[in-house]
Amino acid sequence: MEHPEEYRNRAEEFVCELTEEFYMNRAGLKDSLNASEIYMNYRDLFEKETVLQLLQPVRSLRHNDSPETSGRMLYLAAFAADGFMDMAVRELTDRIVSSETQAVVEFENRKLPFRMTPVVLANEPNARAREQLEARRQEVLSELNPLREERIACLHSLAGDLGYGNYRSLYADIKGLDLDVLADKMEQFLDETDSVYTHNMEKAASTYLDMPLSDVSRHDISYLFRGVEFDRMFPGTNLVTSLEATVSGMGLGRESYPNIHIDIEIREGKSPRAFCAPLRVPDKIMLVLMPHGGYDDYHTILHEAGHAWHYGSVLPEQEFEYKYLGDNSVTESYAFLFQYLAINENWLSEYTQGPRLEEYMRFSTLQKLYMLRRYAAKLLYELKLHAGDDISVMPGEYSSLLSDALKISHPGVYYLDDLDDGFYAAQYLRAWIFEGQLRDFLVQRFGERAYAYPETGEVLKELFSRGQEFTVEELAGRLGLASLDLDPLYEEIDNNLRI
């Protein structure tokens, strides 16, 4: 391996080039995606020998107390190992992505790109039509599953190449995740919120779908949570101005952030999924969004703004590892902190209009609870999948874990589609938990309208300035809070969804 400093510099170039490439493609500024080519140009970063060399001190450092170097080394090792895995399955990933992009389904006598089907499902009020479209979708998914099985088998055996017993222990180690503790907490969460979830979900199924919960399937959920009823509360014309006023209130106004660029232009080829692209931290941060109407746009712009203000506030002299790598639960927590202003009663009465506020609070908290339970079940499933057990039982495991947690039938065919690499589910869960803690911390200090004061902005700026130097557990410790404490989440659910 080259000199560590050289490795870092090259890694930074690689990350920036790749981010730029994804940004150009997803923003609709370029119709091709040359990610593979970029990986090839930087393949020296992910050679097995290099990765093993970077991984080697990680385990011993865990038991050693020199947090300054160990954090950076761990993040760099995780980057290298992750890149090694991605690199090795790159062709399979490309084949899956292009098959998906090219797949077309027949629906109501027209041909529909497979990729468009989720959007159609979310806007299709007729349950029978949703069911028919879902049947076509599942044909495509079944056809793709052999490729996905090959890819997962390959990832599992690569974990062995890096000296780990299985994929699960590889990721637990490089991401510094205590997956067993998290799984215990989430299992308890599933138990404790079971009745409040079921009760509210039964009501929601009847109100928004006119169906008993027992008849609801996975493909009905996006229509259930589409929330057409609340569209008038969230007019598109106020979307950007409400964000601007919110950050201004915290003393984080856009005039102090010329490095953050907001792009809400409607463009052909622009991805319907919003994203934040930190092209250069902190100098050039893009927030890209294609509004489609309703409460979801507000959640989305606030979420992505949380990422943007985080990356845009990082100290320029901060180390590469802390600017671009590290614990992604941190940036997701800040994104959630901004996003869930759209469930804050005070914020809603200031920034939205109409008489349905109370109903909406219940609705959107239920959606959040649904997501938490969904990710809890996904984590429990992934722990089984990635422990290296017999893959043939996994469709059944997926189906029973997700269906039990959500009280909605989940077909096994999704068992490798409904999955992110590298236990990202665990990162989201830790982010939801820490967001609850951080929000509670701010409310204790500055009150329910914490978002309206520059003092809050000062606390956030200080946190943001370090990038992802600390994990969420470390951040909780620095704020004097317990590690992964779910109480604020329980409290929020109890307040908003009380039976």
Q: Are 92 and 151 in contact (CB under 8 A)?
A: yes
Helix (H) or strand (E) holding 105: strand 104-107
Q: Are 41 and 75 in contact (CB under 8 A)?
A: no
Nearer to Zn ion, 329 or 344 (CB): 329
Nearer to Zn ion, 19 or 50 (CB): 19
* Residue 104 Cα distances to 65, 99, 141, angstroms: 55, 10, 12
Residue 435 CB, nearest approach to Zn ion (Å): 11
β-strand partners of 104: 113
Residue 308 CB, nearest approach to Zn ion (Å): 10
Residue 301 CB, nearest approach to Zn ion (Å): 12
DSSP per position, 144-204: HHHHHHHHHHHHHHHHHHTT-SSHHHHHHHHTT--HHHHHHHHHHHHHHTHHHHHHHHHHH
Residue 39 CB, nearest approach to Zn ion (Å): 23
Nearer to Zn ion, 307 or 410 (CB): 307
Question: Using DSSP, how many helices (H) and how many strands (E) does the chain show?
Answer: 22, 5
Residue 374 CB, nearest approach to Zn ion (Å): 16
- Kindly indicate which of the ranges 157-165, 166-174, 334-342, 375-383 contains the residues binding Zn ion, using the contact rule CB under 5 A: 334-342
Residue 339 CB, nearest approach to Zn ion (Å): 8
- Kindly indicate which of the ranges 25-33, 65-73, 333-341, 453-461 contains the residues binding Zn ion, using the contact rule CB under 5 A: 333-341
Nearer to Zn ion, 397 or 435 (CB): 435
Nearer to Zn ion, 14 or 424 (CB): 424
Helix, strand, or coil (residue 4)? helix
Q: Rounded to whole angstroms, how far apart are CA atoms 113 and 265?
A: 23
Nearer to Zn ion, 141 or 335 (CB): 335
Nearer to Zn ion, 45 or 335 (CB): 335
- Kindly indicate which of the ranges 74-82, 244-252, 254-262, 330-338 contains the residues binding Zn ion, using the contact rule CB under 5 A: 330-338
Nearer to Zn ion, 39 or 275 (CB): 275
Q: Rounded to whole angstroms, how far apart are CA atoms 303 and 332?
A: 8
Structure tokens at 385: 């999948």
Structure tokens at 293: 């109407």
Residue 299 CB, nearest approach to Zn ion (Å): 11
Nearer to Zn ion, 337 or 442 (CB): 337
Nearer to Zn ion, 117 or 313 (CB): 313
Rg of the chain over Cα atoms, rounded to whole angstroms, equals: 22
Nearer to Zn ion, 297 or 397 (CB): 297
Residue 335 CB, nearest approach to Zn ion (Å): 4
Residue 291 CB, nearest approach to Zn ion (Å): 17
Interacting residues with Zn ion between 81 and 140 (CB under 5 A): none
Nearer to Zn ion, 54 or 243 (CB): 243
Amino acid of residue 9: N
Q: Report the residue closest to Zn ion, judged by CB.
A: 335
Residue 381 CB, nearest approach to Zn ion (Å): 21
- Kindly indicate which of the ranges 293-301, 328-336, 424-432, 440-448 contains the residues binding Zn ion, using the contact rule CB under 5 A: 328-336
- Kindly indicate which of the ranges 24-32, 154-162, 198-206, 335-343 contains the residues binding Zn ion, using the contact rule CB under 5 A: 335-343
Interacting residues with Zn ion between 479 and 498 (CB under 5 A): none
Helix, strand, or coil (residue 311)? helix
Q: Are 1 and 49 in contact (CB under 8 A)?
A: yes
Q: Are 170 and 142 in contact (CB under 8 A)?
A: no
Instruction: Please work out the total of residues on this chain that contact Zn ion, with binding judged by CB under 5 A.
Output: 1
Establish if 155 lies at the interface with Zn ion (CB under 5 A). Answer: no
Q: Which of 85, 302, 308, 335 binds Zn ion (CB under 5 A)?
A: 335
DSSP per position, 26-66: HTTS-S---HHHHHHHTGGGG-HHHHHHHHHHHHHHHTS--
Residue 426 CB, nearest approach to Zn ion (Å): 15
β-strand partners of 278: 285
Amino acid of residue 456: T
Residue 50 CB, nearest approach to Zn ion (Å): 30
- Taking residues 282 to 321 in sequence order and writing x for each that binds Zn ion by CB under 5 A, - otherwise, the string is ----------------------------------------
Q: Rounded to whole angstroms, how far apart are CA atoms 178 and 383?
A: 12
Q: Rounded to whole angstroms, how far apart are CA atoms 277 and 256?
A: 19
DSSP assigned state of 207: I
- Kindly indicate which of the ranges 81-89, 113-121, 327-335, 391-399 contains the residues binding Zn ion, using the contact rule CB under 5 A: 327-335
- Measured in degrees and rounded to the nearest 5, phi and psi for residue 82 equal -60, -45
Rule CB under 5 A: which residues touch Zn ion? 335
